[in-house]
Amino acid sequence: MKKKGFYRMLLTYLPVFIVVLSFLCFAFFQVLSFHSQRQAVTMSETLARQAIRAVEFSLKSIDERLTRELLTNEEYRLFFEENDPNHVYTDIRSVKLMQDLTVSYPLIDSIYFVRYRDGHVLSNRTSSPLGTYPDRAFLGDELPIKDSQWSDVRTFQEFPAKPGREVVSLVRGFPFSRGTHGLVVINVNVERLRMQINELYHAEVSFVNLYDRNGANLMNAADGSALREKPTLQKERMATYVSGYTGWTVESGMMLQPVIGLLLEFNQAWTYIGVVIVLLGLLSLVFITWKHYEPIDHIVSNIKRYAAERRSHMFGSQHRNEFDFIGAALDHLIEQSNRNQTQFEEDVGLRKKYWFRELLAGERGIGAEQWREMMTKLGQPEEFRQGIVFMLEIDHYADFQSRYDDRDQFLLKFILSSVAQEVAGKSEAWAWPEWTERNRLTGIVHFPSDAELTHQAVFALFESYREWVAKHLKFTVTIGAGGIASEVGGLARSYRQSIEALHYKAVIGSNRFISVEETEGAEYERQPHIEHIHSLVDALRMGDDEAAERLRTLFEQMRMTMMRREDIVNLANYLAYQIDRVMMEISPELYQGWRQEGAAGWSAALASFDTIDELEQHVSLTIAVLLERMKEQRSKRASHELMRNVREYIERHATEPDMSLQRLSEQFGLNSKYVSKLFKEALGMNFIDFLVELRMRRAKTLLLEEPGMSVKEIGERVGYANMNSFNRAFRQSVGVPPGEYRNRQRYDAVKNASR
């Protein structure tokens, strides 16, 4: 390989050096000639015009846009003529107007509206009464004020805790022609305006100063210092303009080196000095280039020797010069190092998580020896003493996802993991947390001490963890914990118990610590809840307002029985199925409305609810809407009043054996078939089913309240002269014979009382 790098470096530096020095020696005084001076003046005038036009264009655009909005946009009138003391919605819409202006014009720092009627000030960041608003001094004491031109530079500080910002302000009254209702103040950020002007010129060649009517320079910082100017350069002002729109003055010129005057004194001697400098530069350049190339030559030799020893073809002769050769070697080395480091980190993390999951699953039979090996790698006490597994669940996770983006979610989850370790450390324990699901953090808390671990200590540990999250973060968590494990194998059982504890979150409530002891012995029987659902649906079918009370009774019973979340979901699905059948029976219109609105919302509520209270609130609202629609539909029918009388008559005489359609037709003077048709249309069920439902309801009451009365006597009391007919009707309606129903209800009552 030839030393191409050396010759390329040498031949690259020499032409540049010669050209630069020749230019300095023979053309320097040409640059300072009269022609160049005139060009500098022309450039300064052009720069000044561009600067003043840029400022006027930006400020005029904002002014014209605001004027057009005040004249045409109805939203401004709604704000300034607002009479409602609770004007939150109007304020939100007004803030949207401010945001639209801020997005359209990035120079805008802030906007606020002032309403004279009630002294209300609303900005795009806050709202307050006019008397306490920090910018009150700018508006003056006399309101309303007339429209003004753009103000001079001032300091705007909206919040005492934050430093003020330099702005220029525009005030426009509303209505536009009079300004009697209020005013709009737009603050333009001077720093952004300064940056816009700075883009027009190079600070080392030219300068621009922009003065307001008071003589303050907008191109300087708040303390008056120039931001882009070098103290070694001198200003030569060459052009000045005054804006007819703002009244501001702009001046521009050139930046000159002080050494220029000194160089002018070296007139003819400058040529000789230039020749000497060129010769010295050539010699220095050759020497420096050679000295710089020696390390490169040494590196290339070492890489060649390494490649020959490794018999590597990676650094072959295809490279054009030494730099390509070195670059290829370094790229290969860095790539291999990064690949090895990444692979190592991924393997360690995956092995750790895999071992964690296997330990809690209890499938591989991890014992004390494997525990000691892993703890040695993690730098923790090797001997297992006592441990417990907990599972943390973020409450209302859908809201959590919508409130925070992916980056913030990752940060908050990291905080939860870190706090778990910190809280455990304060209790002389060690925590190993891992995110096993998107909304669930599973952790092992190991207590290396030989002292017996009590349930009170466990409760205090996790309760302090929960309280820290509730106090310092803007969301809450629910923590479920299993039993205490005295050996490594017991952690799998503790893990299953922590999952089981969280199943009761819907009934116990969110933002809680739930221990396995709190849920032990909880049993759930489906039949009593099914009967309450049937009773609720029957009341709904008849459009009875009692349906709402029966719904409350159903949820109270669900709370008392300590149900798991999946059991609550199953009952709610069964209730939805029964409502679906009722709506289909009553009318196609009600059924269609239920399917389009109620059923869809029902499914969404089942998927997202955290506690049974949230589910009850949604179901109660749905039932109320259905009852209201049923009432509206039935009230439109001409026969509604008649059927109401028929229904009341049936309810009064339902337990009489001779109650029939024939009796109704005689009582109300109508044809029995017509009565049956009206009954079906009004209540969504036929006469016989309604009569049986009333009798069965009365029968169930007597079975529970009259323990000394026989089943036959109860059947006669509710209208059945034949006991077999009563038994058959009761079994078809309730699902079990009357005697068995009475025994079951007694057993459930005794069991609930013992709790």
Q: What SS3 state is found at 238?
A: strand
What integer pLDDT is reported at residue 344 of this predicted model?
43
Residue 116 and residue 256 share a domain: yes
Residue 298 predicted with pLDDT over 50: yes
Answer whether residue 336 is part of any domain: no
- State how far the alpha carbon of 192 is from the alpha carbons of 49, 52, 108, in Å: 19, 15, 9
Q: Which of 16-25, 271-280, 419-428, 441-450 has the lowest average pLDDT?
A: 16-25
Residue type present at position 111 = I
What integer pLDDT is reported at residue 111 of this predicted model?
94
Residue 253 and residue 140 share a domain: yes
At which of 483, 499, 519 does a domain end? 519
Instruction: Report the CATH number that the domain containing residue 131 is assigned in CATH.
Output: 3.30.450.20
| Pairing of β 513-515 and β 477-481 | parallel
Domain that holds residue 611: 529-630
* Token couple for 702: 């007597």
Q: What SS3 state is found at 151?
A: coil
Residue 588 and residue 494 share a domain: no
- Tokens 């606020």 belong to residue: 112
Answer whether residue 552 is part of any domain: yes
Residue 738 preceded by cis peptide, ω within 30: no
Cβ-proximal residues to 65 (8 Å cutoff; 6+ apart), any chain: 101, 104, 105
Percent of the chain at pLDDT > 90 equals 13
- State how far the alpha carbon of 745 is from the alpha carbons of 117, 539, 739, 750, in Å: 67, 21, 10, 9
- State how far the alpha carbon of 674 is from the alpha carbons of 188, 655, 670, 680, in Å: 79, 23, 7, 10
What integer pLDDT is reported at residue 537 of this predicted model?
81
Residue 611 and residue 721 share a domain: no
Answer whether residue 558 is part of any domain: yes
Determine the Cα–Cα distance for residues 655 and 584; give it in Å rounded to an integer: 29
Residue 93 and residue 201 share a domain: yes
Residues 488, 372 contacting (CB under 8 angstroms):
no
What integer pLDDT is reported at residue 157 of this predicted model?
87
What integer pLDDT is reported at residue 412 of this predicted model?
93
Q: What is the pLDDT of residues 640-686, one digit of tens each?
A: 677 778 888 888 888 888 888 888 888 887 788 878 887 777 777 88
Answer whether residue 480 is part of any domain: yes
Q: What is the pLDDT of residues 510-556, one digit of tens each?
A: 898 988 888 776 666 777 778 878 888 887 877 777 888 888 888 88
| Pairing of β 386-394 and β 430-437 | unpaired
Residues 40, 47 contacting (CB under 8 angstroms):
no
Instruction: Report the CATH number that the domain containing residue 451 is assigned in CATH.
Output: 3.30.70.270
Residue 318 predicted with pLDDT over 70: no
At which of 630, 654, 678 does a domain end? 630
What integer pLDDT is reported at residue 354 of this predicted model?
80
Cβ-proximal residues to 504 (8 Å cutoff; 6+ apart), any chain: 514, 518, 519, 522, 562, 563, 564, 565
* Token couple for 369: 């020896």
For the chain, the maximum distance between any two Cα atoms, rounded to a whole number of angstroms, is 141
Q: What is the pLDDT of residues 265-284, one digit of tens each?
A: 454 555 566 667 667 766 76
Residues 154, 168 contacting (CB under 8 angstroms):
yes
Determine the Cα–Cα distance for residues 28 and 263; give it in Å rounded to an integer: 10
Q: What pLDDT band is residue 709 in, cutting at 50, 70 and 90?
A: confident
What integer pLDDT is reported at residue 636 of this predicted model?
62
Provide mean pLDDT across the span 438-467: 87
Q: What pLDDT band is residue 147 in, cutting at 50, 70 and 90?
A: low
Q: What pLDDT band is residue 32 in, cutting at 50, 70 and 90?
A: low
Determine the Cα–Cα distance for residues 235 and 89; give it in Å rounded to an integer: 55
Residues 136, 125 contacting (CB under 8 angstroms):
no
Determine the Cα–Cα distance for residues 596 and 594; give it in Å rounded to an integer: 6
Answer whether residue 610 is part of any domain: yes
Which ranges constitute the DSSP H helices of 33-188?
A: 34-72, 74-80, 88-104, 136-139
The number of folded domains in the chain is: 4
What's the chain's Rg over C-alpha atoms?
Answer: 43
Residue 690 and residue 592 share a domain: no
Residue 556 and residue 488 share a domain: no
What integer pLDDT is reported at residue 265 of this predicted model?
47
DSSP-assigned letters across all residues of 10-65: HHHHHHHHHHHHHHHHHSHHHHTSHHHHHHHHHHHHHHHHHHHHHHHHHHHHHHHH
What integer pLDDT is reported at residue 572 of this predicted model?
83
DSSP-assigned letters across all residues of 244-286: TTT--EEEEEEEE-THHHHHHT-TTHHHHHHHHHHHHHHHHHH
What integer pLDDT is reported at residue 188 of this predicted model?
93
Residue 234 and residue 87 share a domain: yes
Q: What is the pLDDT of residues 323-339, one digit of tens each?
A: 666 666 666 666 665 56
Determine the Cα–Cα distance for residues 11 and 371; give it in Å rounded to an integer: 68
User: How many CB atoms are located within 10 Å of the residue 602 CB?
Assistant: 21
Residues 506, 514 contacting (CB under 8 angstroms):
no
Answer whether residue 222 is part of any domain: yes
Q: What is the pLDDT of residues 208-254, one digit of tens each?
A: 888 988 888 888 875 555 555 555 667 778 888 888 888 899 998 87
Q: What is the dihedral of CA 575, 578, 580, 586, to 10 degrees?
A: -130
Determine the Cα–Cα distance for residues 720 and 716; give it in Å rounded to an integer: 5
Answer whether residue 296 is part of any domain: no
User: How many CB atoms are located within 10 Å of the residue 651 CB?
Assistant: 13
Cβ-proximal residues to 96 (8 Å cutoff; 6+ apart), any chain: none
Residue 482 and residue 464 share a domain: yes
Instruction: Report the CATH number that the domain containing residue 674 is assigned in CATH.
Output: 1.10.10.60
Q: What is the mean pLDDT of the chain?
A: 79
Q: Which of 476-480, 720-724, 749-753 has the lowest average pLDDT?
A: 749-753
Residue 486 predicted with pLDDT over 80: yes
Q: What is the pLDDT of residues 570-606, one digit of tens each?
A: 888 888 878 888 888 777 787 787 777 777 788 888 7
* Token couple for 417: 């993991």
How many H helices and E strands in the chain? 30, 14
Residue 559 and residue 470 share a domain: no
What integer pLDDT is reported at residue 2 of this predicted model?
56
Q: Where are the beta strands (DSSP E) in 422-505?
A: 430-437, 440-447, 477-481
At which of 236, 263, 290 does a domain end? 263
Provide mean pLDDT across the span 380-390: 83
| Pairing of β 430-437 and β 249-256 | unpaired
Residue 442 predicted with pLDDT over 90: yes
Residue, of 321 and 62, whose pLDDT is higher = 62
Determine the Cα–Cα distance for residues 128 and 231; give it in Å rounded to an integer: 45
| Pairing of β 249-256 and β 234-242 | antiparallel
Query: Which residue, among 116, 142, 148, has the nearest Cα to 129 in the 3D structure?
Result: 116
Residue 458 predicted with pLDDT over 70: yes
Residues 599, 643 contacting (CB under 8 angstroms):
no
This prediction's pTM: 0.43
Answer whether residue 34 is part of any domain: no
Residue 170 and residue 99 share a domain: yes
What integer pLDDT is reported at residue 392 of this predicted model?
94
Residue 166 and residue 48 share a domain: yes
243-247 long-range contacts (CB < 8 A, ≥24 apart) are: 243/52, 243/55, 243/56, 245/56, 245/59, 245/60, 245/149, 245/150, 246/55, 246/56, 246/59, 246/149, 246/150, 246/212, 247/149, 247/212, 247/213
Q: What is the pLDDT of residues 18-27, one digit of tens each?
A: 766 665 655 4
Q: What pLDDT band is residue 496 in, cutting at 50, 70 and 90?
A: confident
